[in-house]
Amino acid sequence: MLEQAAHPAPPPLSLTVGRAHALRFGRINLEVRQSIPAWRQALILAGAVITGMAISAALLIAAGVKPRALLDEFVVETLTDSENLHSILFQAAPLIFVGVGAAVAFRVRFWNLGIEGQMIWGGIAATFVAFYEIGPPVARLPLMMLSAVLGGMAWIMVPTWLRLRLRVNEIITTLLLNYVALNFLLHLVYGPWLDPKDAFPHSPQFHSYERLPEIGWGLSSALVMALVFTALAAWLVQSTRFGFYTRFVHDNPRMALAVGVPIKAVMLISVLLSGGLSALAGFVIATAQEGRLTQSFFEGYGFSGILIAFLARNNPIAAMIVAVLVAVLFVSGRSLQVFCQIPFAMVQLIQAIIVICVAASEFLMRHRLHWVR
């Protein structure tokens, strides 16, 4: 009591704290941006990707890769070695299909995590046509392709129907149906479709007319197909009435319903396209890369598709570009695996790091930071 009386009443604590804090350090002020110019958006995005690559490089170096080897594998080899360039473009085709496929579904907020399942069904349906030799050889490849697309669409119809009719969350159903598809695939390649020649778990080799041809300069027609479908998807989402409606279903489905947008039809078409495109990824791997149905041709593509769509902000053209970059990562990752004993999981880790950096950069696009004194 005595002590208190001896001193004048101290001012409330926070006042001094607030003032000192403000004077000495200033502080960062956050503002929500109303709009952001495209160049700044691109700059932030580039910054995020570079940050992600820097972190990835640090991780690879920590894992024992020499900086020199990193530069060699990712930059020098990619740009100079024509064989490497070919394998990247070869690798890009299925990645473009899954990336664009995921984007088309995400544009109507249908979270298709079943890309791998649809790829498997694409592969199975194509191989079905080849295995039972349906149609004349000339029409074989187109029939296989059609069959693959229908297979993928049929497989995605299950979760779609559950979602539209019974409001079952598609994240769960699409994901779990992947395992159903996988087990059916294993049944086929270990059972009725087992290659009688070598008794390995894969289907017999396709005939030459059942394989996607090369078109010169070492390029596969798979890449051409991928580019054509990307262009079609881009036209569909950007210029058509269907694309116009998908934007409403994405932004505000309740409002879309109220103003008469046929949201169920728009959703159904988008989702079927997504299933069909994913199935085509399976088709091109089977018919251009492997030449048969194997038990693991789809591995890793589901995650990559989601990632590509995310990085491309669901834009088909951007998805195509990102898919090529991911292909660089895939191919370089494989040689790192061979030459530096780096596990392939590292490639997925790098993908994840870049995704996290880009996702975090969203914050800087939505907000403006400035320093207040």
State which of positions 160-189 bind other proteins (CB under 8 A): none
Closer residue to other proteins, CB minimum distance, 22 or 71 = 22
Q: How far is the CB of 14 from other proteins (least distance, A)?
A: 3
Q: Does 8 bind other proteins (CB under 8 A)?
A: no
Closer residue to other proteins, CB minimum distance, 15 or 228 = 15
Closer residue to other proteins, CB minimum distance, 204 or 253 = 253
Q: How far is the CB of 23 from other proteins (least distance, A)?
A: 8
Q: How many residues does the chain have?
A: 373
- Per-residue binding string, other proteins, 191-230, x by CB under 8 A, is ----------------------------------------
Q: Does 66 bind other proteins (CB under 8 A)?
A: no
For the chain, report the end-to-end CA distance as a whole number of angstroms: 39
HEC secondary structure over the chain: CHHHHHCCCCCCHHHHHHHHHHHHHCEEEEEECCCCCHHHHHHHHHHHHHHHHHHHHHHHHHCCCCHHHHHHHHHHHHHHCHHHHHHHHHHHHHHHHHHHHHHHHHCCCCCCCCHHHHHHHHHHHHHHHHHCCCCCHHHHHHHHHHHHHHHHHHHHHHHHHHHHHHCCCHHHHHHHHHHHHHHHHHHHHHCCCCCCCCCCCCCCCCCHHHCCCECCCCCEHHHHHHHHHHHHHHHHHHHCHHHHHHHHHHHCHHHHHHCCCCHHHHHHHHHHHHHHHHHHHHHHHHHHHHCCCCCCCCCCHHHHHHHHHHHCCCCHHHHHHHHHHHHHHHHHHHHHHHHHCCCCHHHHHHHHHHHHHHHHHHHHHHEEEEEEC
Binding footprint of other proteins, residue count (CB under 8 A): 39
Closer residue to other proteins, CB minimum distance, 29 or 183 = 29
Q: How far is the CB of 305 from other proteins (least distance, A)?
A: 24
Tokens 């580019």, residue? 227
Closer residue to other proteins, CB minimum distance, 10 or 196 = 10
Closer residue to other proteins, CB minimum distance, 136 or 260 = 260
Closer residue to other proteins, CB minimum distance, 44 or 340 = 44
Tokens 């990102």, residue? 322
Q: How far is the CB of 264 from other proteins (least distance, A)?
A: 10
- Per-residue binding string, other proteins, 249-278, x by CB under 8 A, is --xx-xxxxxxxxx----------------
Closest CA to 120 of 203, 187, 174, 184: 184
In a 13 Å sphere around the CA of 96, the CA atoms on its Cβ side amount to 26
Closer residue to other proteins, CB minimum distance, 217 or 371 = 371
Q: How far is the CB of 256 from other proteins (least distance, A)?
A: 7
Q: How far is the CB of 7 from other proteins (least distance, A)?
A: 18
Determine the interface stretch with other proteins among 32-40, 56-64, 131-139, 189-197 (rule: CB under 8 A).
32-40
Assigned token pair, 20 = 């000192």
Closer residue to other proteins, CB minimum distance, 173 or 246 = 246
What is the residue type of 257? L
Of residues 10, 12, 136, 192, which one binds other proteins by CB under 8 A?
12
Of residues 169, 183, 240, 341, which one binds other proteins by CB under 8 A?
240
What is the residue type of 91? Q
Tokens 């790091």, residue? 353
Q: How far is the CB of 237 from other proteins (least distance, A)?
A: 11
Closer residue to other proteins, CB minimum distance, 37 or 191 = 37
Burial class (CB in 10 A: 0-12, 13-18, 19+), 312: buried
- Per-residue binding string, other proteins, 310-349, x by CB under 8 A, is ----------------------------------------
Of residues 47, 135, 204, 243, which one binds other proteins by CB under 8 A?
243
Chain positions contacting other proteins, by CB under 8 A:
11-15, 17-19, 21-22, 27, 29, 31-35, 239-245, 247-248, 251-252, 254-262, 368, 372
